[in-house]
């Protein structure tokens, strides 16, 4: 039996929790979002981060409101519930998006 890959990314932990609460397998989530099951696995294990538009598609597929993954990820941050910032490359420029609402 292969060893489990440790999940270290707060976003990955949040994505896994949202997927499981939505009663979805990795393959089902991948199909709804339009990616491979391997992509979902890599996100959950913190090896890759999904792009901004993909995060929104994941939230919709899991039944979350906009910013839902960020709010879930904040509880895994250990940093007092601060929003998680994701990066989306566009034309060589990098922008940051804070999904969580201001408290």
pLDDT for the residue numbered 93:
34
The rounded percent of the chain whose pLDDT value lies above 90 is 33
pLDDT (mean) for 56-61: 93
CB atoms within 10 A of CB 35: 17
What superfamily in CATH does domain 10-98 come from?
lambda repressor-like DNA-binding domains (1.10.260.40)
Tell me the CB-side half-sphere exposure of residue 102, using CA atoms within 13 A. 0
Using pLDDT thresholds of 50, 70 and 90, give the confidence band for residue 49: confident
pLDDT for the residue numbered 71:
83
Using pLDDT thresholds of 50, 70 and 90, give the confidence band for residue 6: low
pTM above 0.85, yes or no: no
> Domains of the chain: which residue ranges?
10-98
């Amino acid at each position: 039996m292969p060893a489990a890959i440790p999940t270290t990314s707060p976003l990955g932990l949040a994505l896994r929790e949202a997927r499981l609460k939505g009663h979805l397998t990795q393959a089902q989530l991948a199909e709804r979002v339009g990616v491979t099951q391997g992509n979902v696995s890599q996100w959950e294990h913190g090896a890759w981060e999904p792009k901004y538009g993909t995060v929104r598609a994941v939230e919709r597929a899991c039944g979350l409101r906009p910013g839902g993954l960020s709010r879930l990820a904040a509880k895994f941050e250990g940093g007092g519930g601060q929003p998680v910032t994701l990066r989306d490359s566009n034309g060589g420029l990098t922008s940051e998006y804070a999904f969580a609402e201001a408290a």
